Structure 1
Amino acid sequence: MAVDIGEQPEVYARLSEPEHADAIAAVAARVAARQPRHVVLTARGTSDHAALYGAYLTEIRLGLPAALASPSGITLYGARPDLSEALVIGVSQSGGSPDLVEVLRVARAAGALTVAVTNQPGSSLAEAAELAIDVAAGPERAVAATKTYTAELLALLMLVEGVRAGDGALPAQERATLAVLPELAALTLADPTATELAERYRFAARLVTTGRGYAYPTVREAALKLMETSYLAALAFSGADLLHGPLAMTDPDVPVLAVVGEGPGGTAMREVLTRLGERRADVVAVGPSPVEGAAAQLRVPALDERHAPLLDILPLQQLALALALARGENPDSPRGLQKITTTR
């Protein structure tokens, strides 16, 4: 898992190389030409959080309604929704889950434009889709997905921005950001703070993760990593939902990982942090700027809010790894889990 986490700067650089960037641009151009009326994403597990990020990008950057599909509606109940004017994107690191393949098959038969985003270009999902994007993360050693998750994030970002451009080509400013992303990721991973925090929280019984907007997929993914590697009860809430009831369970004995960026999502988190302060919650802030009242901070370089998830998750992956080791667990092979999970 440590090696997989450490390779993410390299993966970012690889996806930005012409071989892969041009392939994503070609898919984006095809999507733009079809002018879909809405976008449906389908995924499971870690990839579901990448798909959620894709949904935020789609609605904010493209102005199109976006939703996450319920695969069981199609596979268990035989539903056949009208997807004739939709773009349907299947996101899966393995591309091998039968239910996701079936969603793309049904959507394509209904007239939807279908795209597979996967780390296995020859997978069943890629074959079922009309178009496919290879996230080019390379073999992932650990069961818990890390570099394939961030590769999916970057591929979806490049796809959406290419569609927004109309011809698939990324604007110069976007290319400039992607050019520095590997260096910023390496700087983030070089900070030892996340590993040092593991000793502080090794005996925690439960934990809360929270964030708003683009940060919400990050907190969902962070909670999953903590659950599957440390067997820690980690509950993820948007900052807004946290205030609608779950705030009551926070106290000094329940650590809260709060992702606080510098855009609208981070601004909206200020009220959440104030309320957490009233509860005397033990808050660890993730973001580029100091957060008043936080017990600790995982600092990341400042980026536009839509790019921030590519960095924010990195120290949280490191924390999950270090916490699992501190608790005497094996994060490379969590009990009861396999690298490829097939659901129907």
Structure 2
Amino acid sequence: MSYPYLKYSSSIEEEPNLLKLFIDDSEVTIETNEPEQLRKTMLCMDGTKSIHTLAAENSYSQNDFESLLSQLKSVGAIEILDKNDTLTVEPQAFAKICRQVFPQWKKDVFTLDFWHHLTSGQLSISSFAGWMLENFHFIEGATKRLSLVTATSNKNRKIRELFSQHFIEEYNHQLFFLKALQRLGFSKSQVLNHTPLPSTQAIINHMRESARTDTIAYAACSAFLESTGGDRKDGMLFYDALTKHYDKEQKGIIKPLVDHAFLDEEYGHNDWLEKVCSCVAVLDKERSDEALSAAQMLVETLKMWTWDMSVHYENIPFEELTNACRYR
């Protein structure tokens, strides 16, 4: 008996008389008179239901359903598990899966209008300052989440040592953003007394929940946030654009952020997930699925965070941002 599942890297867009499948960087079109039904059927493919069960539940004949599965598998949208497949996954295979889906997930977040407007100078100085303030609060929260995940890893000495070292390296990185905000015109007390947006707190809470739940889930979320070698060039272009549009007086506002990026690279945080996975002999599939789901939920929360910043800060006078008592 076989069990189909829709790959994490696949997304579905419904249109009249067809479905568009976005798989990694490719687009596939499937013509159908019932796109809504086909989309519903595909979303039922989670690896827990057999081909026979899925066909019956979605009113397909066995032959028609197997033909559909063959088509979907040929374009890379699904995989099919055999009943004899092991219920475990190699840790480095899990890390590889994460690296395969992360680029598309990052694209989903960082192609939102806010980021284009930020890097093209279309946002107000208040929006730019707001983005830095929210980053300050998130990075300041590293002390809370890294202490939790270090405690959670008490049964694996190697992982505990990794997280302890990470804690030592990250505990004061909010100071890079504090320095940038001070060069922008904030005092230290104004930054410290600022209240983060609910969506920023949601990201912090999600990371803390992952830290309490499972070290692999936390490592997956952390790996999504860390830059990789492939992100480095884009990151420097991002900072160059911020300098051009928001530091016209050349106060060096962006330099602390660049220093922070280079320090993370020096620490080797870009392969953090692989380092954690190397400390584990094997992963249950259920555990790896939950870890990947935690990373995906982080992505959805980051989308909400982006929207929250875009609507909250745009029309606020910069002088009002420096009012420590101000909130919404």
Please state which band the TM-score falls in when normalised by the shorter chain. under 0.3
* Larger helix percent: 2
TM-score normalised according to structure 1 size: 0.27
- Structure with larger Rg: 2
Structure possessing the higher relative contact order (Cα contacts under 8 Å, 6 or more residues apart): 2
